Structure 1
Amino acid sequence: MASTGTTSTTGGGHEWWRTAVIYQVYPRSFADANGDGVGDLPGITAHLPELQNLGVDAVWLSPFMTSPQRDAGYDVADYCDVDPLFGTLDDFDRMLEAAHGLGLRVIIDLVPNHTSSDHVWFKDALASSDGSPERGHYWFRDGKGENGDEPPNNWESVFGGPAWTRVTNPDGTPGQWYLHLFDTSQPDLNWTDPWVWEQFRGILRFWLDRGVDGFRIDVAHGMVKADGLPDATPDEAAGSMGGAGGALALEPEISDEPPSLPYWGQEGGHEIFRDWHKVLAEYDGDRALCGEAWVDPPAKLARYVRPDEMQQTFNFSYLETPWQAPALRTVIADSLAAFNGVGAPSTWVLSNHDVVRHATRLGVSGDNPQGHGLGPKSNVTVDAVTGLRRARAATTVMLALPGSAYLFQGEELGLPEVIDLPDSARQDPTWFRTDGERYGRDGCRVPIPWTAAGPSFGFNDTGASWLPQPAIWALLARDAEELDPDSTLALYKLLLAEREGRGLGAGELEWLKGFGDDVVAFRNGGVTVVANLGEASIALPDGEVVVSSEPLTGTDLPTDTAVWLLG
């Protein structure tokens, strides 16, 4: 086993977010304390000990603010209150106190690209005249054509259909159009308006004063639009959020020129994050901003985490990398180099609430662009056994990497994407705006199982569930996996304990050579990591096996298996 002689580190500093493993809680689907079929804040509080026992460092909560729930809370009507569906501000404070008491940091979701159409800001805009300050908070424009009957430009919504909707004036005549990169109920805010900047400074301080440890910034790469809102033609082969695989993709190369799509990755967004960086710096402790920025390649993404901007940003290039050793080696090396270049940690993520769960995704044969989802009529083949085996190996690699890692609720149980949801149960706006052409994200959002028996597998005591749960949840429930030493839950607990105990998050990555093209092999913190992505077994290297993604028999490392070794 020879070293390449090159090493990569996580950059300077010892802040918690540089090495943290952060667990995403999707509140609607985590735990339901009042039995109405939708998860809530008291349900989260009740299960925080299990997250501490899992071994994570922090919890990220998807939106729980006041919302009509047309997009599962990502359509916010009041940024400074809790939706009654999830509880009260007092419930939030109790949850936060309980988490801190267990040594868990708490990050909350912030949605600054758009509001709900129910937000008072937008209602005031509708009630105001063309060109008013209230309308200036959003993107209201006159339509094209003789009577203004055509949208101001040709932009498409991420959820399908046009990105513009025309309003009706109080006298019943057709009015202006407003921009919504997502659903019609999610009008985009105009970040050229200083008033919008001031409102969000206040929102940040509201939650920081309550004690939150940071914010995950939704659609961080879409907040600023190009001057003049020029027409743009998206790449239909790509994924919906503009990443490496997506329907509205960014420029593939770094350039001083603006991106060809005028709604993603605009340079002006960096000034917003510099402003927010200053707000967080007003507070004691290590507060963090993590951006959802579907920007590729990593060297361009790293610009969002320069020292005076955000602390982290999701590494979607890593998430979207196919299960191929050369591609995986490349994205890891490029990520470490790019983020180290600005003194930031790389982040690693394999699943979240917007993508097909990686226990399924890694077993899919066929084209499945990000945002399209999977359903009974998807033109792909899914090998569930291979998918889970690869998912376990992929996580074993990921949690050995220097930097910070994100986990999505239920992945520690090996939960697959729920593909066979009935059409009548689907709730994602993508499903409706594309007339069922795209299934959307419901399949990864099904409420998770806590117990093999009982109503709704322990999600609550009534059996109610906002999305139907599959029968296989009985086999994958947390209490069942707690009893199985070979379960995915047992693997995650071992990985997280060894990662923490050996300081791998703050370590250095050293590539190892002498393996074939189908192998990913590196050393970090005295641990040798070898992953076999090929079609045949390879000889297991010398050393004491600390972790293996699959039980080992003999002296070979089977296909789709990863190990950690000492010695």
Structure 2
Amino acid sequence: MTQHLTDRLHTPTGTQPGGWWRDAVIYQVYPRSFADSNGDGMGDLEGIRSRLPYLKDLGVDAVWLSPFYASPQADAGYDVADYRAIDPMFGTLHDADAVIREAHELGLRIIVDLVPNHCSDQHEWFKQALREGPGTPLRERFHFRPGKGENGELPPNDWESIFGGPAWTRVEDGEWYLHLFAPEQPDFNWEHPAVQDEFRSILRFWLDLGADGFRVDVAHGLVKAAGLPDIGGKDQLKLLGNDVMPFFDQDGVHEIYRAWRRILDEYEGRRVLVAEAWTPTVERTANYVRPDEMHQAFNFQYLTTDWNAADLREVIDSSLAAMRPVGAPTTWVLSNHDVTRHATRFANPAGLGTQLREQGDRELGLRRARAATMLMLALPGSAYVYQGEELGLPDVTDLPDEVRQDPSFFRAAGQDGFRDGCRVPIPWSGTEAPYGFGDGGSWLPQPDSWAGLSVEAQTGDPASTLEMYRAALKLRRAHPALGAGDSVEWLEAPEGVLAFRRGDFVCTANTTGAPVAFPAAGAPGTPLLTSAADGLADLGVLPADTTVWWQVTSG
């Protein structure tokens, strides 16, 4: 039944040559923070299933589910103990099947998160490797090494964990194992055939259940340079940087994804692979989406670009140019579960990065966030939306230390430990926490100020961020010039303004803090939609920090 629904859902049509993902809007659900069905304060699969009609009404094409596998939850489920089982906190395998089935009935596709770089230290392979000791077969499936120093008391090399501290932990028998993230997340050795065989089996398990594809976590990290060489004085704690690292973006990863692509191509329904690949350049990112590898890769260069017209134009041009030779769609993203929400990022001065401690100018941040969203949705390719951004949610920057759960918060450096702020459960209804999230509170506290940001509060209000998203997604789906493509036609525009044309559609984005008058020729057409909550008072003036979509009426 599920297989049949998947086949029917993905039958190629004349309006989507080359694949549904080329112009899809994909909504990321962070399961523990989306909807709680049983009142335990933690979101779950049944909660997701119950809210699928909301996502259909919002206008997205697919839903990406962050991990829901069996896990000790040392890193919010990215430490997987069993890739074929559901963690009881989220439900059962039957619940996962129900989510996939109902999504398909609504015309939505489901992409599941796959975590192949590392597993949990509670994974049976790793527990057995510890029991068996040095030199045994199970240890070869991970990176176990003797230490340096007179008695092996020093780590095997100078690599650091992304979460801070050494990337090595010593076990009782004296050997060390590699973990690029938390100590509870040992890295697999992808040179071992058993690791490769296991993940090919895992792919088939979820494809057989009806999953429409996989978002591949740390896709750039699976293969390490031969010999695990020292790095020296490089700053290793940045996922995105210009330095070439021996544990990231090694050429050997591409053979793995070619093998995976062959598996997906065996299945009906156009299943997809999406790379979370932090690379130094968009050109390196393009390697992951060559015709025989993955279908999409996240555009982190775009996510990390400040609200500045010149910088945005540069990254848009370079992104489109990099993907064009490999024939892959460019993707665009502004927020996810690992970075500060863009409504808060844009509320602060430029250049502070994706992890912030300050709320900033809330009104300014929301105005810029709305404008940035409409700019993103007008670009050719596929767009990703992180749950709650359609409500204009800011990061929660004042969470008390005792409620934080981000593993990097408890270590000395790394990702600054402030990812909890973008993971606070979203508000659905009511005037008091937990705002319809569930009947038993929420695993992270929600601010009192969120009463006016709930789905219920914003629905039907034409000035609300939610209704702007709904209108933009509806227009994007309906307008023939929007969606898939690989280029834009830049138009002459005043300094600080981006203007481009796609067929009979024009997008203008004023990234300055002041109104800007159009040149003598005037407005480019009839306004279709504006990010400004109070609309356009003068068609000849583009308000500060505002994006407007236009229907071209001549020329």
Q: Same fold (TM over 0.5)?
A: yes
Give me the whole-angstrom Cα distance separating, in 1, the residues matched to 2:304 and 2:383. 15
Q: Distance in 2 between matches of 1:315 and 1:144?
A: 39
For 1:350 and 1:451, the matched residues in 2 are separated by 25
Q: 1:415 offset after TM fit, Å? A: 0.3
| Equivalent-residue separation in structure 1 for 2:336 and 2:424 (angstroms) | 12
Deviation at 1:440, TM superposition (A): 2.5
What CA distance in whole angstroms lies between the structure 1 residues aligned with 2:511 and 2:331? 22
Normalising by structure 2, we get a TM-score of 0.93
> SS at 1:38's partner residue?
coil
> Partner residue of 2:7?
none
State the match for 1:305 in structure 2. Answer: 289
Task: Tell me which residue corresponds to 1:219.
Answer: 218
User: Aligned partners of 1:351, 1:563: CA distance in 2, in Å?
Assistant: 21
The 1:119/1:212 distance shift into structure 2, 3 A limit, reads same
- String of CA shifts for 1:524-560, please: whole Å, max 9, x gaps: 2421000011233122524110010002112311111
Conserved in 1, the CA contact under 8 Å of 2:428 and 2:436? yes
Contact 1:24 1:60 in 2 (8 A): yes
Q: Which amino acid aligns with 2:181?
A: F
SS at match of 2:90: coil
**Residue of structure 1 aligned with 2:23, choices 1, 19, 22:** 19
Give the Cα separation in 1 of the matches to 2:431 and 2:237: 38
- The residue correspondences of 1:5-154 to structure 2 (distance < 5 A) are 13-154=17-158
Name the SS for the 2:113 alignment partner: strand
SS at match of 2:548: strand
Answer yes or no: is 1:287 the counterpart of 2:271: yes
Q: Which residue of 1 aligns with 2:454?
A: 477
Separation (CA, whole Å) in 2 of partners of 1:436 and 1:343: 35
Asked if the contact 1:455/1:461 (under 8 Å) is kept, the reply is no
State whether structure 2 residue 531 is matched by structure 1 residue 531.
no
Query: Aligned equivalents of 1:414 and 1:163: distance in 2?
Result: 37
1:549 to 518, 531, 544: 531
CA distance in 2, matches of 1:547, 1:429: 42
Higher relative CO (Cα under 8 Å, sequence separation at least 6) belongs to 1
1:432 equivalent to 2:410? Answer yes
Residue 420 (structure 1) aligns with: 398
Count of aligned pairs between the two proteins: 529
Identity %: 56
Determine helix, strand or coil for the equivalent of 2:397: coil
In structure 2, the residue matched to 1:468 is 445
- Find the aligned partners of 1:151 and 1:186 in 2 and give their Cα distance: 17
Residue aligned with 2:477, SS: helix
How much does 1:439 deviate? 3.0
Shift of 1:367: 5.2
CA distance in 1, matches of 2:466, 2:276: 27
Across the aligned residues of Structure 1 and Structure 2, the Cα RMSD in angstroms comes to 1.6
In structure 2, the residue matched to 1:498 is: 475
Query: Contact (CA 8 Å) 2:329, 2:485: kept in 1 or not?
Result: no
The answer to whether the 8 A contact 2:433-2:448 is kept is: no
Alignment of 1:42-441 (within 5 A): 42-169=46-173, 175-233=174-232, 235-236=234-235, 240-241=238-239, 243=240, 249-251=241-243, 259=244, 261-365=245-349, 368-370=352-354, 373-375=355-357, 382-434=360-412, 438-441=416-419
Residue in 2 that maps onto 1:566: 551
- Equivalent residue letter for 2:496: D
SS, match of residue 398 in structure 1: helix
TM-score by length of 1: 0.91
Q: 1:509: how far off? A: 3.6
Distance in 1 (CA, whole Å) between partners of 2:384 and 2:528 is 22
Contact 1:546 1:564 (C-alpha < 8 Å) held by counterparts: yes
Cα distance between partner residues in 1 of 2:510 and 2:438: 40
Displacement after TM superposition at 1:312 (Å): 0.4
Q: Distance in 2 between matches of 1:276 and 1:267?
A: 16
CA separation in 1, counterparts of 2:377 and 2:162? 31
CA separation of 1:102 and 1:234: change in aligned 2, threshold 3 A: farther
Distance (Å, rounded) in 2 between the aligned partners of 1:351 and 1:97 = 28
Shift of 1:324: 0.9
Q: Which runs of 5+ in 2 are unaligned?
A: 1-15
Q: 2:437 aligns with which of 446, 459, 463?
A: 459
Q: 2: CA distance between counterparts of 1:224 and 1:250?
A: 19
Q: CA deviation at 1:216?
A: 0.2
After superposition, the C-alpha distances for 1:162-198 in whole angstroms (9 at most, x for unaligned) are 10000003xxxxx100000000000000001111000
User: Following the alignment from structure 2 to structure 1, what is the Cα–Cα distance between the partners of residues 194 and 242?
Assistant: 29
Distance 1:478 1:452 in 2: 9
Which stretch shifts more, 51-60 or 224-233?
224-233
